Amino acid sequence: MEEGKVFSQSLQESAAAYAIIQEKFGAAVSALDTNETMPFFEVVDPSLWTEIALFMREHPKLKFNYLACLTGIDYPVDEKLGIICNFESLGLLNHKLSVKVKCARNGGSIPSISCVWHTANWHEREAYDMFGMTFTGHPELKRILCPDDWEGYPLRKDYKVQDKYHGIKVPY
Amino acid sequence: MQELDTAVPGSVRVTRQSDKVVIIEKDLATEQMVLAMGPQHPSTHGVLKLECLTDGEVITEAEPCLGYLHRCFEKCCENVDYPAVVPYTDRLDYLAGMNSEFAYAITVEKLLDIEIPRRVEFIRVIVAELNRIASHLVAIGTYGIDLGAFTPFLFCFRDREIILGLLEWASGARMLYNYIWVGGLAYDVPADFLTRVKEFVNYFRPKALELCNLLTENEIFVKRTWGIGIMPADVAINYGWSGPMLRGSGVKWDLRRNDPYSIYPELDFKVPVPDGKHSVIGDCLSRHLVRAWEMDESLKIIEQCIDKMPSAEGFNPRSAIPKRIRPKAGEVYGRAENPRGELGFYIESDGKSTKPVRCKARSSCFVNLSAMKDLSKGQLIPDLVAIIGSIDIVLGEVDR
């Protein structure tokens, strides 16, 4: 953390939690982004993602037992897709931390964390449905909101809607 | 009279006449049957389809199929300005539009880092809590219908109508309000509004008790819900449950208390959790009880807000609304306690555009419903109806 700046208490808690993760995984995680609205770090080596997730849930000083939200996101400039997870230690230590994981835009994959938090199961399916990254190790990765035979990934920035769906005109 | 064919066990239905075994039906199918419940099934509270694999009356697996009401909320948000997202949030959880707007407004305000006039905060809390009562009335009423109790539904809708009338008076719309704006409100409340709200609070107290006598203490209702669909607390947290669902499992967790926003820290209210005397902790009845108790707490909050409300003198509900909403580059995850649980918004701004780069709604019903597969395993078909009703889904929020 930068010197000479006053941080709120919640940000200090997040930084303390991050320090434990950083100590264990070293270069596999990026530095903490200390903003007041959503402090986060990025997983530089996505192959360790499930391991980091399990560590975050199980370590006695972390205890992130609650995955509040998992958001898929598209970075067209960097040619990447990513997810953002908002964690919280619900009722135990009450600190929060967010994590970003990125993968290649075409054919990229991220390890699934649905074995660590059940919440991730449907959220990862939604991210796959909307962005098209795959989650390795997910028990049943299929579309959830769009029909199974829908073409393309709607929330990508360059998405073009298909002309016809089962003979029905789609754009209106 | 035929001999009992023991070569194919399970394929015949037999009965006893004196001391002989009589076959009533032969060649019964023994394989499991797929039973599609919905999307037009009334007890699914909307267009939800459950694909159940049944073994007789017992459900071996139930797979929820969503998306019938998907209308690209998140894609729409990326194409409109920040204030224009508000009407879309109404349509997420259309039974609690005020609460959804509230959640969105505080999220963007967090990103903008602006100060809101105190009177605005009080009005927001009053309308949100009124809407919470209205939403719980629908949840309780329709739950009664699911389990065969028709009268409570009519009682609930009679009282909900008064709330919708009040909110229509304030905002101009019955369900899709567009009232809580980023940075303020669309209008101040009408001159006589608070008196009428107070009248409603006094009117509703005994009615809530009446509802309690009619439904919550009804033996048939209790027998249908007691001990059904039990969810242990740690599994519920792992599933990301929130709101009355999580509190039904005995976890005292309420964002108004545990991650306070707006003026909730100043208000005195209890977070009701089941005590294990009236229900098994974590069952359908617990979740129903939490909703019933929460209505009482909301009444308390409204009363306190009316008493503490700053005067309307020189008040402009739009004074803090920025001329042009263009937050600095950054991202935020904001959330609020909705009648159905935690409604969160993840918003990313690039600092240049007046439109969000990404706006994701973390829907409470979506997350709560994801436990359906585990909850329904090994239950009877009529109990499945009781479980779906207790989750209290609004498909507008599940499918977004």
pLDDT digits (tens, 9 = 90+) for A90-128: 888 888 889 999 998 888 889 999 889 999 999 999 999
Instruction: Please indicate whether, in this complex, the C-beta atoms of B75 and A67 are within 8 angstroms of each other.
Output: no
> Who contacts B142 (Cβ-Cβ below 8 Å, separation ≥6)?
B45, B153, B389
Residue B154 CB neighbours (<10 A): 11
Residues 6 or more apart whose Cβ sits within 8 Å of residue B140 = B152, B156, B211, B215, B288, B291, B292
User: Which pLDDT tens digit goes with each residue over B115-140?
Assistant: 888 889 999 999 999 999 999 999 99
Closest-CA residue in chain B for A119? B239
Task: Give pLDDT tens digits for A43-68.
Answer: 888 888 998 999 988 888 888 989 98
Per-residue pLDDT at B19 exceeds 80: no
Q: Chain A residues with CB-CB distance to B under 8 A?
A: 35, 37-38, 40, 65-69, 71-74, 84, 86, 90-91, 94, 98, 117-119, 121-123, 130, 143-147, 154-155
- Picking from B320, B202, B336, the residue whose alpha carbon sits closest to that of residue B263 is B336
Question: What's the token pair of residue B92?
Answer: 């997420």
| Residue A5: band (very low, low, confident or very high) from pLDDT cuts 50, 70, 90 | low
Using a CB-CB distance cutoff of 8 angstroms, which residues of chain A are in contact with residue B368?
A: none
pLDDT digits (tens, 9 = 90+) for A68-97: 899 999 998 888 899 999 998 888 888 888
Yes or no, beta carbons of B366 and A84 under 8 Å apart: no
- Cβ contact B400–A145 (<8 Å): yes
Binning chain A into helix, strand and coil, the percentages to the nearest 5 are 25, 25, 50
CA distance B400 to B386: 24
Instruction: Check if the beta carbon of residue B139 is closer than 8 Å to that of residue B339.
Output: yes
On the 0-12 / 13-18 / 19+ scale of CB atoms within 10 A, B224 is: buried
A4 to chain B nearest CA, in Å? 21
Maximum Cα–Cα distance across chain A:
63
Q: What pLDDT, on a 0 to 100 scale, did the predictor assign at position B317?
A: 83
d(CA A45, CA A24): 14
For residues A36 and B264, give the distance between their C-alpha atoms in angstroms, rounded to a whole number.
Answer: 21
CB contact under 8 A, A38 and B362: no
* Nearest chain A Cα distance for residue B90, angstroms: 20
What is the per-residue pLDDT for A140?
Answer: 87
Q: Is the pLDDT of residue B2 over 70?
A: no
| Element containing residue B140 per DSSP (H, E) | helix B118-146
Looking at residue A1, its pLDDT comes to 47
Instruction: Among A40, A68, A147, select the one facing B344 at the smallest CB separation.
Output: A68
Minimal Cα–Cα distance from A119 to chain B, Å? 5
Count of A–B CB contacts within 8 Å?
Answer: 88
Helix (H, G, I), strand (E, B) or coil at B33: strand
Q: At what angle do helices A9-25 and A49-58 cross, to 10 degrees?
A: 120
What's the complex ipTM? 0.89
Spell B243-270 as b/e; 16+ CB within 10 A means b: bbbbbbbbbebbbbeebebbbbeebebe
Best mutation target among A65, A66, A89, A113 (most B Cβ atoms within 10 Å) is: A66
Query: Which spans in B226-371 are helix H?
Result: 233-238, 244-248, 255-258, 284-308, 364-369
Mean pLDDT along residues A159-171: 85
Q: Determine the pLDDT at residue B302.
A: 92
Per-chain mean pLDDT for chain A: 86
Residues of A in contact with B66 (CB under 8 A): 144-145
Shortest Cα distance from B260 to chain A (angstroms)?
Answer: 13
Q: How far apart are the first and last CA of chain A?
A: 51
Are A119 and B238 a contacting pair at CB < 8 A?
A: yes
The pLDDT tens digits for B167-190 are 999 898 888 999 999 888 988 888
Q: Does B358 sit within 8 Å of A73, measured CB to CB?
A: yes
